């Protein structure tokens, strides 16, 4: 029965098909279209499916176009971010290199100003900058995220900058102390001229005896200005026997300077004087063969060679005298 139906639609019973009456407008014979129920149902279903798929297809297509746009936006954003990270990496590396140089310079300064003791461990034979650089290269190495590594590197740099700042501050304080000390250290000529009689053993020009000359003699015309060779306090200003009119300045740090055979004294004991200040005038008082300044420097109680204190600079004082 079922087979028969499939084989031939015209054998269908009335129940199995729909009949459509077609009536032409001009009164011509009407005719009938029969469509099997099964075919109609299938057709309707097909139509519905087609419509549904059509709509779905269109909307999917639209959606996938949207996704594509979003994807390409994201992609270009990600690429931009990658570039930014790369630039950050370059900048962090540039900062690291600058800091490395600064640390090496700071170390050089520390060696001079801070008179840093040589470090004894093998570990620190490297320069401070190179050591920093070496440690820097290991920072955040295990981090899977570039940004995390960069963050750790920046933290490391920040700590180093804080340390360097504190080192430089202490160097500044030390430098200020050295400047103060240098200001008080005899470091200029007391009078314009050249040395006639040197420091050391000599035959005294007047007595002919072999005597130790504790200073240097600088000839000049009578009345030429005599300057304090460093900041200090006038410890003595008066008659000094064989020294004639004599001034002694106490410079602290164990230094004293003596100016002898003066014709005039222009300062009183207890007075503070500064380096270069005129304190008296050249003369030939006391035991002398002509107008000159006899200039002595005492370190604690011992007379020292004044020559190295005549044109002294801070660096030389720092590295050779103190
Ligand atoms: Zn002398």
pLDDT tens for each residue of 144-191 = 888 899 999 999 999 999 999 999 999 999 999 999 999 999 999 999
Q: How close is the Cα of 264 to the center of ligand 1, in Å?
A: 17
Share of the chain above pLDDT 70, in %: 86
Q: What percent of the chain has pLDDT over 90?
A: 59
Q: How many angstroms separate the alpha carbon of residue 219 from the centre of ligand 1? A: 10
Selection from 58-62, 139-143, 208-212, 260-264 with the highest mean pLDDT: 260-264
Q: What is the whole-number distance in angstroms between the Cα of residue 277 and the centre of ligand 1?
A: 22
Cα–Cα distance measured from residue 305 to residue 186, given in angstroms and rounded to the nearest whole number:
12
Tens digits of residue pLDDT in 69-104: 889 999 999 999 999 999 999 999 999 999 999 999
Cα 163-165-169 angle, rounded to 5 deg: 120
pTM of model > 0.75: no
Q: Confidence class of residue 5 from pLDDT cuts 50, 70 and 90? A: very low
- Greatest Cα pair distance, the chain, in angstroms, is 171
Residue 23, helix vs strand vs coil: coil
State the distance from the centre of ligand 1 to the C-alpha of 199, rounded, in angstroms.
8
Tokens in use for 240?
A: 């000094």
Average pLDDT over residues 224-242: 97
As residues whose CB is below 5 A from the ion ligand 1, the structure lists 217, 294
Specify the higher pLDDT residue, 206 or 246.
246
Could you tell me the fold of the domain covering 200-321? Glucose Permease (Domain IIA) (2.70.70)
Ligand 1 centre from 140 Cα, in Å?
Answer: 71
Closest CA to 18 of 50, 41, 49, 47: 41
Quote the ligand 1 centre to 294 CA distance (angstroms). 4
Q: In what helix (H) or strand (E) does residue 168 lie, and over which residues does it extend?
A: helix 146-184
CA of 246 to the centre of ligand 1 (A): 12
Note the Cα 99 to chain centre separation in Å. 5
Q: In what helix (H) or strand (E) does residue 247 lie, and over which residues does it extend?
A: strand 245-252
β-strand partners of 213: 200
> Residue 296 Cα, ligand 1 centroid: separation in angstroms?
8
Q: Is residue 13 very low, low, confident or very high in pLDDT (cuts 50, 70, 90)?
A: low
The pLDDT value given to residue 110:
86
pLDDT of residue 113: 79
User: What are the structural domain ranges in the chain?
Assistant: 2-73, 85-184, 200-321
Q: How far is the CA of 194 from the centre of ligand 1 (A)?
A: 13
Total H helices, total E strands in the chain? 5, 13
From the CA of 213, how far away is ligand 1's center (Å)? 6
- Say what the pLDDT of residue 277 is: 98
Q: Band of the pLDDT at 281, cuts 50, 70, 90?
A: very high
Compute the distance between CA of residue 230 and CA of residue 276 in angstroms, rounded to an integer: 7
Whether residue 286 is predicted with pLDDT greater than 50 in this model: the reply is yes
Q: For residue 121, is pLDDT > 60?
A: no
Ranges of H-type helices in 8-145: 37-112, 128-136
Which pairs from 236-239 meet CB under 8 Å and 24+ separation? 236/269, 237/265, 237/267, 237/268, 237/269, 238/265, 238/269
Positive or negative: CA dihedral 256, 260, 262, 264:
positive
Ligand 1 center to residue 288 CA distance, Å? Answer: 8
Angstrom distance (rounded) from CA 167 to CA 268: 43
- Rounded to whole angstroms, how far apart are CA atoms 270 and 279? 13
Centre of ligand 1 from the C-alpha of residue 241, in Å? 13
């Amino acid at each position: 029965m079922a087979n028969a139906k499939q084989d031939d639609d015209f054998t269908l019973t009335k129940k199995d098909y729909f009949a459509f009456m077609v009536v032409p407008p001009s009164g011509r014979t009407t005719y009938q279209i029969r469509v099997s129920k099964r075919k109609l149902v299938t057709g309707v279903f097909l139509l519905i499916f087609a419509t549904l798929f059509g709509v779905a297809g269109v909307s999917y297509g639209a959606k996938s176009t949207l996704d594509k746009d979003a994807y390409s936006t994201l992609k270009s954003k990600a690429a931009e971010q990658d570039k930014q990270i790369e630039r950050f990496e370059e900048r962090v590396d540039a900062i690291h290199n600058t800091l490395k140089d600064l640390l090496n310079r700071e170390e050089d300064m520390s060696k001079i100003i801070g008179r840093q003791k040589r470090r004894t461990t093998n570990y620190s034979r490297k320069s401070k900058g190179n050591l920093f650089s070496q440690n820097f290269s290991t920072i955040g190495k295990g981090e899977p995220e570039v940004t995390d590594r960069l963050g750790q590197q920046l933290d490391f740099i920040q700590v180093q900058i804080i340390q360097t700042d504190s080192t430089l501050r202490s160097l500044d304080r030390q430098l200020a102390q050295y400047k103060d000390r240098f200001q008080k250290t005899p470091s200029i000529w007391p009078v314009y001229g050249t040395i006639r009689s040197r420091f050391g053993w000599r035959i005294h020009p007047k007595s002919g005896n072999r005597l130790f000359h504790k200073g240097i003699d600088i000839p000049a015309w009578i009345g030429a200005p005599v300057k304090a060779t460093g900041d200090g306090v006038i410890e003595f200003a008066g008659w000094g026997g064989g020294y004639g009119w004599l001034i002694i300045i106490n410079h602290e740090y164990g230094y004293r300077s003596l100016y002898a055979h003066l014709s005039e004294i222009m300062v009183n004991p207890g007075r503070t004087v500064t380096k270069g200040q005129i304190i008296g005038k050249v003369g030939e008082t006391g035991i002398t063969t002509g107008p000159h300044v006899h200039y002595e420097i005492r370190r604690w109680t011992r007379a020292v060679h004044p020559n190295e204190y005549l044109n002294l600079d801070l660096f030389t004082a720092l590295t050779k005298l103190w």
